[in-house]
A and B are shown apart, each in its own frame.
Chain A
C-alpha cells in the first residue's frame, strides 16, 4: 500500500494506543514507542505493529506509537486504520489480511 500523507488513529486513553504514521525516504520501517508498560511489553508492541504493516505491505514509513496498555488486537486495529488514513484508502480490502487474521475474525463473528 502506498503511504501518501500523515495518518493517525487511536487515543491515549487507558487500554488504547495512538498510532501516527508518516511517509519517509527509503524502504525502512522506523518505529518509536512510548508505553506505560514499555519495560514489559515494548518488544511485543513493536512486533504487533510491524507484523500488521507487513500484512498490508507497507514500508518506507515512520511510526510513532503512544501506548497506554493496549492489547495486541487493539494495536493491530489502530495500525490498520492509521495506514488506511495515511494511504487515503476509502474502502478497506479485507482480503489483504493474513489467513490467520481472517480466521481470527471468523472466530469472533461466529461467537
Chain B
C-alpha cells in the first residue's frame, strides 16, 4: 500500500487491473503517449451497413470472450439498449465481457444477473446506482469497478487505456450510412457528447436506432466515416427518462437559502462581470443559483459568455432571453433543451473530450470562471465524495465533478449541512472523488466556509456580511444536530477504484460489511 497525496492508501497493483499510480496533485501527471485510434478500414462503394439485429452485429464485428464493449448514458433512466445488447451477447454465448458505459443508472440492475452468470466480468463507469451499486459494494464482483470522471473517461479512451472493441451507440435517428443525431427521431436524447468519443476511438462502431431516415441525416453528431454498422430496433429508449435521475426543481426553503448564499458568493467573488462563464450542476439548489444570478445580471446589466452543463430548459430560456451568448452541451437534461439544441445555433453540442479531457490542448473546463458543484459528503480538508453514500454503498456518479473543480477559476461546493440526519460536512469522507485542493468554497444552509488556500477570497467575502465559518465549525455544528454517527464497517476487500481525471488513483472503495 502507498499513500497518495491526500493520504489515502492505494495498493500498488490489483489483480485484473494491473499497476496503479497514486494521485499526486491535480496537474502532476504529464501525458507521454499518443492518441490511439482504431485500425483503418476501407468501406467500398456499394457496401451495405444495415444489419438485421444485435446478435448479427455482435458476430459481424468479431465479438469474442473478454472483449470491451461500450455504451453511452444519454437516455439516463430511459435507456433500453445496454440491456438488449448484453442479453444478445448472452444468447450467443459470450463470456467475461468488460463493459465501459459512460455511466450506469437505476435501470441497469438487470446486469446483476449477467455478472452472476459470467457474461460480464468487469465494469468501467462514471456512476453506479440502485441495486447494482449495492451488489458491487457488497463485494459480488471479482475485479473492482473503475470509476472515472467524464473527462477522465475521454482521456482513457483517447490514450488507449480503455480499448473499446465495439461501441454500441443508441442514436435517435440515423440514415443507412451512419449519419446520426440525438435531436431528431421518435425517441430523442439531445446531445451525444459521450457517444462522440466512443465513435471516434472504438475499433468497431455499431449505431442502433428506432428511426431510420433518408440519406443524408445531417447535421450529424456522429458521422458516416466512423460507423461500421447500423441496426434498427423497435425502441432504443424512452425520451421521458432523460428528465429523471438526480434532476429536481426546487421550492425547498433550504435549497433556496443555499442558492441565495451561492449567488452572493459569485457576485462578490470578482468573477461576476460582463462575459463571465459558469457551469451549474443538476441539483435543485444548483438550478436555483442560476435563477438568482439571472436577477443580478439584470440589475448589473451584464451577460454571460457561456454556460455549460447538463443543459436544461432553464439554460435555454436564458439563452433565448440573451442572458448568455452560448451554451456548451455534452448531455441534455430535458426535452425543451433538446428542442433548443436542434433549433438554436448558439446552443452547441460538444464531446466529452472537448468538455473535460485533461490531456488535450485545452478542454472547455479550463475556460470556466465559476463551477457550482454538489456533494454527498465534504470533509474538513474540502475533499468531496460524490460516489458513495454515507453508508459506504456506491450510489452516485463521478460525472464532471473533478474536471470542473480542476479547471474552473472559482469552484463552489453547495450542500445542506445535514441531509436526513446524515452530517454532510464530516471529518473524513468515505470516498474521495475530488481533491480538496481544487475546491475554494463550501456553501451550506448554515453558513459558508472558504478554503484556507484562498486567503484573498476569504478577505473579500469577509467584508460582505455573509455568514462565514471555519469548515471545522460547520462540521461540529452538523454533528451537534445529528449526533456522532457510528463508523461504517468495511472489509479489506477493494470493490472499486476511483481514478482521478489524469488516470492516477485518488481513492479506493471497500466492501461494506
Interface residues of A (CB under 8 A from B): 14-15, 36-37, 39-41, 43-44, 68-72
- In the bound complex, residues from chain B placing their C-beta under 8 Å from that of A39 are 391-392, 486, 488
State the 6 A-B residue pairs at the shortest beta-carbon distance, nearest first.
Answer: A69-B420, A40-B485, A69-B421, A39-B391, A44-B483, A37-B421
Q: Is the CB of B420 within 8 A of A41?
A: no
Q: For the complex, what is the distance from the CA of A97 to the CA of B486, rounded to whole Å? A: 28
Interface check B390, CB cutoff 8 A: yes
Q: For the complex, what is the distance from the CA of A72 to the CA of B482, rounded to whole Å? A: 8
- In the bound complex, residues from chain A placing their C-beta under 8 Å from that of B485 are 37, 40-41
- In the bound complex, residues from chain B placing their C-beta under 8 Å from that of A44 are 483
Q: Mark B190-203, 1 if CB is under 8 A from A, else 0.
A: 00000000000000
What distance in Å separates the Cβ of A95 from its nearest Cβ neighbour in chain B?
27
Q: For the complex, what is the distance from the CA of A14 to the CA of B421, rounded to whole Å? A: 10
Tell me the B418-456 residues at the A interface (CB within 8 Å).
Answer: 418-422
Which of A39, A44, A71: most chain B CB closer than 10 A?
Answer: A39
What distance in Å separates the Cβ of B431 from its nearest Cβ neighbour in chain A?
15
Q: Is the CB of A41 within 8 A of B486?
A: yes
Q: Mark B450-493, 1 if CB is under 8 A from A, else 0.
A: 00000000000000000000000000000001110110100000
Q: Is the CB of B488 within 8 A of A68?
A: no
- In the bound complex, residues from chain A placing their C-beta under 8 Å from that of B481 are 71
Among residues of A, the one whose C-beta sits closest to the C-beta of B392 is A39
What distance in Å separates the Cβ of B139 from its nearest Cβ neighbour in chain A?
16
With A39-B391, A40-B391 as contacts: A71 and B421 at CB distance below 8 Å: yes
Give me 26 A-to-B residue pairs in the complex whose CB atoms sit less than 8 angstroms apart, sorted by A's number. A14-B420, A15-B420, A15-B421, A36-B420, A37-B391, A37-B421, A37-B422, A37-B485, A39-B392, A39-B488, A40-B390, A40-B422, A40-B485, A41-B421, A41-B482, A41-B483, A41-B485, A41-B486, A43-B486, A68-B420, A69-B419, A69-B421, A70-B421, A71-B418, A71-B421, A71-B482
Determine chain B's interface SS by DSSP, over half rule.
loop
- In the bound complex, residues from chain B placing their C-beta under 8 Å from that of A15 are 420-421
What distance in Å separates the Cβ of B18 from its nearest Cβ neighbour in chain A?
33
What distance in Å separates the Cβ of B478 from its nearest Cβ neighbour in chain A?
12
With A14-B420, A71-B421 as contacts: A37 and B483 at CB distance below 8 Å: no
What distance in Å separates the Cβ of B199 from its nearest Cβ neighbour in chain A?
41
Q: For the complex, what is the distance from the CA of A40 to the CA of B421, rounded to whole Å? A: 10
Q: For the complex, what is the distance from the CA of A15 to the CA of B482, rounded to whole Å? A: 11
Among residues of A, the one whose C-beta sits closest to the C-beta of B486 is A40
- In the bound complex, residues from chain B placing their C-beta under 8 Å from that of A71 are 418, 421, 481-482
- In the bound complex, residues from chain A placing their C-beta under 8 Å from that of B483 are 41, 44, 72
Among residues of A, the one whose C-beta sits closest to the C-beta of B483 is A44
What distance in Å separates the Cβ of B390 from its nearest Cβ neighbour in chain A?
6
Among residues of B, the one whose C-beta sits closest to the C-beta of A45 is B421
- In the bound complex, residues from chain B placing their C-beta under 8 Å from that of A70 are 421
What distance in Å separates the Cβ of B393 from its nearest Cβ neighbour in chain A?
9
Q: For the complex, what is the distance from the CA of A40 to the CA of B486, rounded to whole Å? A: 4
What distance in Å separates the Cβ of B134 from its nearest Cβ neighbour in chain A?
13
Q: Is the CB of B420 within 8 A of A40?
A: no
What distance in Å separates the Cβ of B157 from its nearest Cβ neighbour in chain A?
36
| A15-B420, A37-B485 given; 15 more Cβ-contact pairs under 8 Å | A14-B420, A15-B421, A37-B391, A37-B420, A37-B421, A37-B422, A39-B391, A40-B488, A41-B482, A41-B483, A41-B485, A43-B486, A68-B420, A69-B420, A72-B483
Tell me the B159-206 residues at the A interface (CB within 8 Å).
Answer: none
Q: For the complex, what is the distance from the CA of A92 to the CA of B287, rounded to whole Å? A: 45
- In the bound complex, residues from chain B placing their C-beta under 8 Å from that of A40 are 390-391, 422, 485-486, 488
- In the bound complex, residues from chain B placing their C-beta under 8 Å from that of A68 are 420
Q: For the complex, what is the distance from the CA of A44 to the CA of B421, rounded to whole Å? A: 11
What distance in Å separates the Cβ of B486 from its nearest Cβ neighbour in chain A?
5
What distance in Å separates the Cβ of A45 from its nearest Cβ neighbour in chain B?
9
Q: Mark B75-105, 1 if CB is under 8 A from A, else 0.
A: 0000000000000000000000000000000
Q: For the complex, what is the distance from the CA of A70 to the CA of B422, rounded to whole Å? A: 10
- In the bound complex, residues from chain B placing their C-beta under 8 Å from that of A69 are 419-422
Among residues of B, the one whose C-beta sits closest to the C-beta of A35 is B421
What distance in Å separates the Cβ of B305 from its nearest Cβ neighbour in chain A?
38
Q: For the complex, what is the distance from the CA of A29 to the CA of B165, rounded to whole Å? A: 61
Q: For the complex, what is the distance from the CA of A69 to the CA of B483, rounded to whole Å? A: 12
Q: For the complex, what is the distance from the CA of A69 to the CA of B420, rounded to whole Å? A: 4
Among residues of A, the one whose C-beta sits closest to the C-beta of B513 is A39
What distance in Å separates the Cβ of B253 from its nearest Cβ neighbour in chain A?
13
Among residues of B, the one whose C-beta sits closest to the C-beta of A75 is B421
- In the bound complex, residues from chain B placing their C-beta under 8 Å from that of A43 are 486
Q: For the complex, what is the distance from the CA of A8 to the CA of B485, rounded to whole Å? A: 27
Q: For the complex, what is the distance from the CA of A68 to the CA of B421, rounded to whole Å? A: 8
Q: For the complex, what is the distance from the CA of A72 to the CA of B485, rounded to whole Å? A: 13
Q: For the complex, what is the distance from the CA of A39 to the CA of B485, rounded to whole Å? A: 8
What distance in Å separates the Cβ of B167 from its nearest Cβ neighbour in chain A?
38
Q: For the complex, what is the distance from the CA of A108 to the CA of B287, rounded to whole Å? A: 34
Q: For the complex, what is the distance from the CA of A14 to the CA of B481, rounded to whole Å? A: 16
Q: For the complex, what is the distance from the CA of A31 to the CA of B421, rounded to whole Å? A: 20
What distance in Å separates the Cβ of A92 from its nearest Cβ neighbour in chain B?
26
Q: For the complex, what is the distance from the CA of A68 to the CA of B422, rounded to whole Å? A: 11
What distance in Å separates the Cβ of A11 from its nearest Cβ neighbour in chain B?
14
Q: Mark B11-52, 1 if CB is under 8 A from A, else 0.
A: 000000000000000000000000000000000000000000
Q: For the complex, what is the distance from the CA of A36 to the CA of B481, rounded to whole Å? A: 17
- In the bound complex, residues from chain B placing their C-beta under 8 Å from that of A37 are 390-391, 420-422, 485
- In the bound complex, residues from chain A placing their C-beta under 8 Å from that of B488 are 39-40
Which of B421, B481, B483, B486: most chain A CB closer than 10 A?
Answer: B421
